[in-house]
Structure 1
Amino acid sequence: MHYVTVEGITKAYGATPLFKNISFHIEEGDKIALVALNGSGKSTLLKILCGKEVPDEGKVWIHKDVTVVMLEQNHNFIAHKSVLENIFSQDNPILNAIKNYELLTDEAAGEPDPVKLMEAISQMDELNAWHFDSKVKQILGKLNIHHLDQEIGTLSGGQQKRVALAKVLIDIGFEHKHTLLIMDEPTNHLDVSMIEWLENYLDQERVTLLLVTHDRYFLDSVCNEIMEIDRETLFIYKGDYENYLERKATREEMDVASIEKARNTYRKELEWMRKQPKARTTKSKSRQDNFYEVEKKAQSRIQEQQLELNVKMSRLGGKIIEMKKVYKSFGNLEILKGFDYTFKRGERIGIVGKNGVGKSTFLHLIQGQIEPDSGKINVGETIIFGNYSQEGLKVKEDVRVIEYVKNIAENFPLADGTKVSAAQFLELFLFTPEKQYTYISKLSGGEKRRLHLLSILFRNPNFLILDEPTNDLDLPTLSILEDFLLNYQGCILIVSHDRYFMDKIVDHLFVFEGNAQVRDYPGNYTQYREWLREQEKNKSEEKKEVKQVAEAKPVATEAPKTRKLSFKEKFELETLEKDIEKLEQEKKELDTLLSSGNLPYEQIESASKRIGEVMEQLDEKGLRWLELSELA
């Protein structure tokens, strides 16, 4: 089925166009990644497809049976309402039934009213909503969303991002047969286990997808096509990320050759133009018009996206950082318990672990921003920290990009004694001369992140601390950052959920496993995940062996399997007890009646038939009561 046709659309803000005359199609089942430099119009194009923006020129056609659902960077939640109310904000009978049932059975709300619970269960049965309810529970559980009665306004930005993702996944699952799912950086604020679950979920659901992401492993796992906006033009590549890089490199080589050819032609035509008389013939005018096209081509240039800087790093002494018997906790939450480590020159350490286990706290401790409960952290005298935090760029007043960087330093020193000017350094990080004179307030969110990163590196630190550096950065900038860090001679400490980035940069990992346990793993992230899977496989085999041994023993020695009954099962158990009591009473009365010997034949026949029905019901309900009792 044909979902979307985009024909010749153009969009500009002011005099600067984001993209010009671009066209593409989306078919059912397509999974497309949209990549471009920050500020090139990725988010704008997504909003045009959603109907939230209008192109200056061109047409967008969307099939009448297709519903467009978008996960945006900014969420329009109602702050004073609960997580559950925001997730189930649509007025739909199935969603309303699930919301009502979940509100009643939420453990934080206490024991539910039996009558209301029975009504909710009955409504779920009527709408056949149980299957979808289990899918909702899976989504909420995998995204670590549990306190559904909590006000959305009290959640952190990362928690709100996960709620927004859950809402989108629930919305596309319950009623829309034909859905185009648009996602803008869906993996931000997700830990690796969540990202891997989302990869599998999107693959199983077979959705039609258009997404913007910086996570190259996620892109490779989910998408089969890449669209790139480059110099206001759209390029389409079938296949994975590696194929995209190869074909893009080939295209740029052809562009360079084409520009060089245009420059040779331009030199000849320029000489001809200078010799031309003012009076124009038809033939000469045609050639002059062609000259201006050649001139435009000849004066274009391909932005180099490699960064080859032999950095003259600030001197790093023999002593880096020593951590001796460091303890840190917040109430009952233990972060470090007797942690020992001595950092070495040139180390590249990745920090991984679930959210809330103390990764950011560890970074603050090293920099002296918070104090340990006990133990010592000795920092070498020559250490100059470069801290790229998630808080983002802080500017007291609105200034131009070039002015902001020059306020840090006019030049960046290189190892060979030469210097790179602030303007040249900005160009290496893909800020064109025109963009350098833009006010910071006019930059896109991704451009601000890129400027923040650049400003940290421009200070020439010798110990880099990068807390989620890849969030909101575009793929060209990530490639530049990776090249810079691979040539960097100082120490690097990185917290990141970007597996591709971690694999490329780090030598070993600090794995925060929770409960103050920190594992020093000698390898990159992919190697760690493979080791972890191997450990889980071994545990699974051990459990299987234990189970086989247990099954070989007499049944009497087996421990009873127990689990907590659901609210529905509890209510059923209570109802069964009452029903059995009533049936036994009725059976007793019928027995008395039949044994009296004074009944007419018709009544004896009726009572005998009824006692048979009662006995049958008692057997059925008794068996179910035994089953639930054993579970309880």
Structure 2
Amino acid sequence: MKTPILSLKEVSLTFGIKPLFDHLSLSIYPDDRIAVVGRNGEGKSSLLKVIAGLYDLDGGERWVMPGVEVGYLPQAIDIEDHNLTVYDFILSGIMKGEIETSSYLIDIIIAPLKLDPNNLLSELSGGLLRRAFLAKTLISSPKILLLDEPTNHLDIDTIEWLEEYVKSYQGAVVCISHDKAFLKNISNKTFWLDRGKLKVNNLGFENFEKWSLEVLEQEQRELEKAEKKLDEEELWKVQGISARRKRNQKRLADLYTLREKTQQGKAARKILLNKIHLDPLTPVLSSKMVCEFRDVYKTYENKNILESFSMRIMRNDKIGIIGSNGTGKTTFLRLLTGEEQPDKGSIKIGKTVEVTYYDQKRVALNPDDTLWKTLCPEGGEYLKVGEKFMHVVAYLKNFLFDPKQARDKVATLSGGQANRLLLAKALANPGSLLILDEPTNDLDMDTLEMIQDVLTDYQGTLIIVSHDRDFLDSIINKTIYFEGNGVIEEFFGSYTELRKIKDDQAKAKSNNNSKSSLKLKEETNKDKVPSAKKLSYSLQRELSLMPEKVLELDQLIEQLEIILSEQDLYQTAPDKFDEKSKQLEETRQKLEDTWARWQELESML
């Protein structure tokens, strides 16, 4: 039988008058990879602090095996001495007797985290400070590693590196994260904090959805059984309680206890099942071609962002933009919205395209405004949500804000609440082109699931920059991968599919050491990647005119549809109705033929 290296027994913890944990018990074993999940406010971060020994307990016992060190990466970073270099700060995580034998690890960890060892902590952004703290936590190599949202401010490449590091870690790991893909890949056990109770499953997070549903279904059966018993007891009370008062005092007391437990169970389930609700988004219809980049060049801070870049974004595209930090993803969005101008080349936006931009820096939020004013900047009590008007308080409730918060200032919100408010503002009227820059930061899983559902059904054009692979894979149909130094790859499919292809290519390359394997690779590449061809001048000119031609036909179709939708046109002007109907049919056929020709010309390339 395995021996735990840390355990909590009958632990109780109260903040103010609210008990957070009541008689909570758990054990951590040397090879555990534990995913800690639960809704916001359930106490996940507090549980990690209890495990780390940072809180005085109101009751119960915390036991740690002698010689076992506990390392802790908090969600909110607090560094006392900002005058240290990154190297010295990380070095301080190594015990004095182990500096000579362990200092080499700094170089191994610092490179993938993209930190400059010579920078002062005072020069770092919040995201880089968090990376430095992560490096210090990892370098200490504790027997128990506690990670609270370790993927915050990391790009996908770094998250994948951290995944591999955690999977091969020589010790126990306990992790809180909203990144489902990260939790699925690292965990072999799940702690679920649910309404003050800890539920444990000896399977990883990948099994959480199935397991939690089974737990809730069992709970529902028990609640229904308790309600049936309560009905029977209430009937007994009505029929004969006065005649048997003394004899049945205990049964009466049990009845009151059962009633209280049933009411508490109903209330708790109501809270648990309370989810963010939002009606389907209704985009403004736009032209078929939303945007075209044509031979665009852009440098930023002496870095190549775009180099001879050409691309068309079409209506209903759902595009995920990925890449390491600093490769130009946000600059690309700013070019798209017109906040930046290309150094060379052209960017054309469809005339009828309406853009909504969700900025990860939250510049659209004024900390001195109230939540109410943020959603209703022109005043009043109602805001337009899609095709209808909603009261601002009702709309805030859809995003799990308490009605009492409506008059609070934005400055009082947590990071997750501020993101929810910004999403509420963006999703009220998303327009025909919705751009989301890192929308998943600081959000809990319930909010992420709601956004995934809404964006999956969105009928407009969507562009998302995100490091959350599960979030992207559930929504996008096209990936734009910024590799750095102006190298950009377009892929029709999800990030996971792209990653698999790249991994397969890397494996094939490492295995192709013989002539036969090299020949096989050449034949495979020949099948997959046709050689580039140069079009004649006339064909090149025809291709360049295609976007404008499609746009004109698209607009003509919209005009004809408006004319034909006029009431009584058929009765009052039958000749005109026939003429416009015929013209509409012909124009639609022309548009279809034009699209086919456009595809044919592009295939020649």
* Alignment match, 1:236: 200
Give, as a single letter, the amino acid of the residue that structure 1 aligns with 2:196: E
In structure 1, the residue matched to 2:176 is 212
The residue number in structure 2 matching 1:162 is 131
Is 1:364 the counterpart of 2:328? The answer is: no
What code does the residue aligned with 1:453 have?
A: L
Q: Deviations over 1:154-197 (max 9, x none)?
A: 1222222222221111111xxx5xx2110111122223332222
Q: Matches of 1:364 and 1:474 in 2, distance apart? A: 27
Give me the whole-angstrom Cα distance separating, in 2, the residues matched to 1:412 and 1:277: 57
**SS of the residue 2:216 aligns to:** helix
Name the structure 2 match of 1:22. 24
Aligned partner of 2:75 in structure 1 is 73
CA RMSD of aligned residues (A): 3.5
- The whole-number CA distance in structure 2 between the counterparts of 1:533 and 1:492 is 27
CA contact (8 A) 1:269 1:291 kept: no
How far apart in 2 are the matches of 1:503 and 1:238? Answer: 27
1:396 correspondence with 2:378: no
1:215 and 1:10, CA in 2 relative to 1: closer, same or farther beyond 3 A?
same
Relative distance call for 1:474 and 1:334 in structure 2 (3 A) is same
Change in CA separation of 1:331 and 1:232 when aligned onto 2, cut-off 3 Å: closer
Distance 1:546 1:286, change over 3 A: closer
Q: Which residue of 1 aligns with 2:156?
A: 192
Partner in structure 1 of residue 87 of structure 2? 84
Determine what percentage of the aligned residue pairs are the same residue: 31
Counterparts in 2 of 1:350 and 1:20: CA distance versus 1, 3 Å? same
Distance 1:316 1:17 in 2: 53
Q: Which moved more, 1:159-168 or 1:345-354?
A: 159-168
Matches within 5 A, 1:391-540: 391-392=361-362, 394-397=365-368, 399=370, 405=375, 422-431=392-401, 443-540=413-510
In structure 1, the residue matched to 2:568 is none
Query: TM-score, structure 2 length as denominator?
Result: 0.74
Counterpart of 1:159, as a letter, is L
Structure 1 residues 542 and 19, CA gap change in structure 2 (3 angstroms): same
- Compute the displacement of 1:524 (Å): 0.9
**Pairwise CA distance, 1:489:** 1.3
Structure 1, 197-206 or 353-362: larger mean CA deviation:
197-206
1:290 maps to: 258
Q: Which moved more, 1:504-513 or 1:45-54?
A: 45-54
Cα separation, 2, equivalents of 1:398 and 1:277: 61
Structure 1 residues 56 and 364, CA, compared in 2 at 3 Å: closer, same or farther? farther
Q: Which amino acid aligns with 1:396?
A: P
Measure the CA separation in 1 of the matches of 2:330 and 2:279: 30
- Per-residue deviation, 1:431: 4.4
Asked if the contact 2:384/2:428 (under 8 Å) is kept, the reply is no
- Structure 2: 5+ residue stretches without partners: 519-605
Which shifted more, 62-71 or 357-366?
62-71
Instruction: State the distance in 2 between where 1:272 and 1:529 align.
Output: 66
3-state SS of paired residue (2:292): strand
- Residues 286 and 260 (structure 1), Cα distance of their counterparts in 2 relative to 1, 3 Å cut: closer
Q: Does 1:48 align with 2:50?
A: yes
CA pair 515-444 structure 1, distance change in 2 beyond 3 A: closer
- 1:312 alignment partner, SS class: coil
Are the structure 2 counterparts of residues 151 and 334 from structure 1 closer, same or farther at C-alpha, using a change threshold of 3 Å? same
Give distance in 2, aligned partners of 1:51 and 1:73.
16
Contact 1:69/1:181 (8 A) holds in 2 = yes
Deviating more after overlay: 39-48 vs 383-392? 383-392
Give the Cα separation in 1 of the matches to 2:22 and 2:362.
31
| Pair 439,538 (structure 1): closer, same or farther in 2 beyond 3 Å | same
Judged with a 3 Å threshold, the aligned counterparts in structure 2 of structure 1 residues 202 and 413 are, in CA distance, closer, same or farther, namely: same
* Alpha-carbon contact 1:35-1:474 (below 8 Å) kept: no
Structure 2 SS opposite 1:197: helix
SS in 2 for 1:391: coil
2:144 to 166, 180, 189: 180
> Quick one: distance in 2 between partners of 1:528 and 1:439?
43
Q: Give me the whole-angstrom Cα distance separating, in 2, the residues matched to 1:267 and 1:80.
A: 68
Separation in structure 1 between the aligned mates of residue 159 and residue 206 of structure 2, nearest angstrom:
20
Q: 1:17 to 1:420 in 2, by over 3 A?
A: farther
- What is the 5 A alignment of 1:332-351? 332-351=302-321
SS at match of 1:236: strand
Structure 2 CA distance for aligned equivalents of residues 51 and 304 of structure 1: 33
Q: Please give the secondary structure, in 2, of the residue aligned with 1:449.
A: helix
Give the whole-Å Cα distance in 1 for the aligned partners of 2:516 and 2:257: 84
- The letter for the 1-side match of 2:192 is E
Per the TM alignment, residue 444 of structure 1 is displaced from its structure 2 partner at its CA by 4.2
Match of 1:139 among 109, 134, 147: 109
Q: CA deviation at 1:354?
A: 1.8
Partner of residue 151, structure 1? 120
Partner of 2:6: 4
Q: Quote how far apart the aligned CAs of 1:12 are.
A: 4.2
In the alignment, the residues of structure 2 paired with residue 256 and residue 91 of structure 1 have an alpha-carbon distance, to the nearest angstrom, of 50
Q: Secondary structure of 1:519's match?
A: strand
Q: Go from structure 1 to structure 2 and tell me whether the alpha carbon gap of 1:421 and 1:313 turns closer, same or farther (over 3 Å shift).
A: farther
Give the SS at the match of 2:166: helix
Q: Which amino acid aligns with 1:156?
A: S
Distance in 2, Cα, partners of 1:267 & 1:505: 47
The one-letter code matched in structure 2 to 1:290 is L
Aligned residues: 508
Which one-letter code corresponds to 1:86 in the other structure?
F
How far apart are residue 143 of structure 1 and its match? 2.0
**Partners of 2:410 and 2:424 in 1: CA distance:** 14
> Offset at 1:25?
1.4
Higher deviation after alignment, 316-325 or 230-239: 316-325
- Post-superposition shift, 1:347? 0.9
Amino acid at match of 2:118: D
Of 44, 63, 66, the match for 2:65: 63
What is the CA–CA distance in structure 2 between the aligned matches of 1:545 and 1:141, rounded to whole Å?
A: 35
Cα shift at 1:139: 1.6
- SS of 1:505's partner is coil
